[in-house]
Chains A and B, each alone.
Chain A
């Protein structure tokens, strides 16, 4: 084993490895240039702006939002326990953590984490969208002259609606916050009781319809999003794991879709009033 490689084993620093290798090679060897390409300075800072890292950022922020959605869905199902339990749970979310934290302290921590996640997710999405357009001359999967097989060979509906589907979900979140959180948009009448706000809103057919459409868009987004989040973080390690992660994504998407659809539908049906 040459001096260079034993030095590299000892130091385990790739830049040191490149340096020592360059020392033992004669300068006229073309290999020298190759080493400079691979071990030049700035690889690390360039990697911090890479598509791989942006996808990882997207994955982590997305998974944080999925965890929130699961908790949010669980809270919504308390509608079946009645007005007192539902409004009490809402009050509990404001009190939890007292007196260590001020009132609504936990709620604000969650809000800030979610806001950062949303903003980071959107930033990464638009940056990657821009790069993807640049890499396909702005035409994506439709860059061929032929009109045959434009939907590709095996891509799913969920996978090619991620970007516009995400925009739909984002607009829905704004509408939803103005409606049930801020009580600013109040079809059916405003109320200080969260339970009453839900009952008032979901007694109107078009409110229910708008939520159903948005939740289906969210379901598709999660079907591809959950799977691709794990794959982007390096979790897709085999063909079997690819299948397993896709099944997990289907389960999460269906769970969230059905779990969120139940309260509006039972209210509209008049079973909860």
Chain B
């Protein structure tokens, strides 16, 4: 199949970017979206042009590196699918496909389709951990975790931190990411000691990074490649309000 790509080219953080059209021929429907971009880059390199820079790593939907807004939807038209797990069979011969980077002032564009997501690292740094004593491994049954809590923590922990929630949010909010990371630890007994300070610190860092507030629209959950539910945000809201009520920090 042949497709036309309109994609964002930007030389570096300070340069002005623009949409540039490229035709790509000989695409197999079994290729992944990123393999299709590899074909484009081979064409560009052979022609002596700069290849298109895009983030990718595992290409199996678990690392959270791929970050493409495809036809205006973060990670493209398939639900619960990262860009790397999207296949060309979901497109048609002759399609024009628009590809852009995540757009958020908190995620500056480094080059073409690559954005700097270190704002997420700083939110994790602010409180996305538990303070545990080091030493010998603790007895596995020393601290019992109810199945319900373990499941809840796991549902939150599957967040791959790709940033699609920010890319899709009309408010540019990262509350789904922050809520998932706070819930992942706050649902477990080991995370209770710092539950209040974690909620305040991560919530504050979220705002300090310039992300907007959550108006409960739910666009983030619709594009999330791992299906983090919207209640993670409400849980963080509740934890922040509870921390403020209990004067714990």
A residues whose Cβ falls under 8 Å from a Cβ of B: 1-2, 4-5, 8-9, 12-15, 17, 21, 34-35, 37-39, 43-44, 46-56, 128, 131-132, 134-137, 140-141, 143-150, 152-156, 159-160, 162, 224, 227-228, 231-239, 241-242
Known: A21-B131, A227-B216, A241-B231. A134 touches B71 (CB 8 A): no
CB atoms of A152 and B213 under 8 A apart: no
Which residues from chain A contact B69 at a C-beta distance below 8 Å? 144, 146
B26-34, B54-62, B165-173: which one contacts chain A? B165-173
When the two chains form the complex, which single residue of A5, A8, A140, A224 contacts B170, counting CB atoms closer than 8 Å?
A140
Judge whether B234 is part of the interface by a CB distance below 8 angstroms: yes
Which residues from chain B contact A134 at a C-beta distance below 8 Å? 105, 210, 212
* Interface positions of B from 161 to 212, Cβ below 8 Å from A: 168, 170-173, 193-194, 196-198, 200-201, 203-208, 210-212
CB atoms of B71 and A146 under 8 A apart: yes
Query: In the complex, what's the smallest C-beta–C-beta distance from B18 to chain A, in angstroms?
Result: 8
Which residues from chain A contact B216 at a C-beta distance below 8 Å? 159, 224, 227-228, 231-232, 236
When the two chains form the complex, which single residue of A54, A153, A156, A241 contacts B73, counting CB atoms closer than 8 Å?
A153
When the two chains form the complex, which single residue of A4, A128, A236, A242 contacts B133, counting CB atoms closer than 8 Å?
A4
Contact-residue bracket for chain B = 35 or more
**In the complex the two chains form, what is the Cα distance from A37 to B205 in whole Å?**
9
Which residues from chain B contact A13 at a C-beta distance below 8 Å? 248
**In the complex the two chains form, what is the Cα distance from A136 to B103 in whole Å?**
7
When the two chains form the complex, which single residue of A14, A53, A131, A153 contacts B244, counting CB atoms closer than 8 Å?
A53
CB atoms of A51 and B194 under 8 A apart: no
**In the complex the two chains form, what is the Cα distance from A147 to B73 in whole Å?**
11
Judge whether B236 is part of the interface by a CB distance below 8 angstroms: yes
Taking A39-B201, A131-B171, A153-B168 as known contacts, 17 extra A-B pairs with beta carbons closer than 8 A to each other, sorted by chain A number, are A5-B133, A43-B197, A47-B203, A48-B244, A50-B203, A52-B237, A53-B240, A132-B215, A135-B171, A135-B172, A136-B105, A150-B72, A152-B219, A153-B222, A155-B217, A234-B235, A236-B216
A-B contact pairs, 23 of them (CB 8 A): A1-B133, A14-B197, A14-B249, A37-B125, A43-B201, A47-B240, A55-B237, A56-B241, A128-B171, A132-B172, A132-B173, A132-B212, A141-B170, A141-B219, A146-B71, A146-B100, A148-B71, A149-B73, A150-B72, A152-B168, A155-B170, A160-B217, A233-B237
Which residues from chain B contact A5 at a C-beta distance below 8 Å? 131-133, 193
Judge whether B19 is part of the interface by a CB distance below 8 angstroms: yes
Judge whether B120 is part of the interface by a CB distance below 8 angstroms: no
Which residues from chain B contact A47 at a C-beta distance below 8 Å? 200, 203-204, 240, 243-244
**In the complex the two chains form, what is the Cα distance from A67 to B161 in whole Å?**
40
Closest to A150 in B: B72
CB atoms of A52 and B213 under 8 A apart: yes
CB atoms of B126 and A135 under 8 A apart: no
Which residues from chain B contact A143 at a C-beta distance below 8 Å? 103
Which residues from chain B contact A154 at a C-beta distance below 8 Å? 218-219, 222
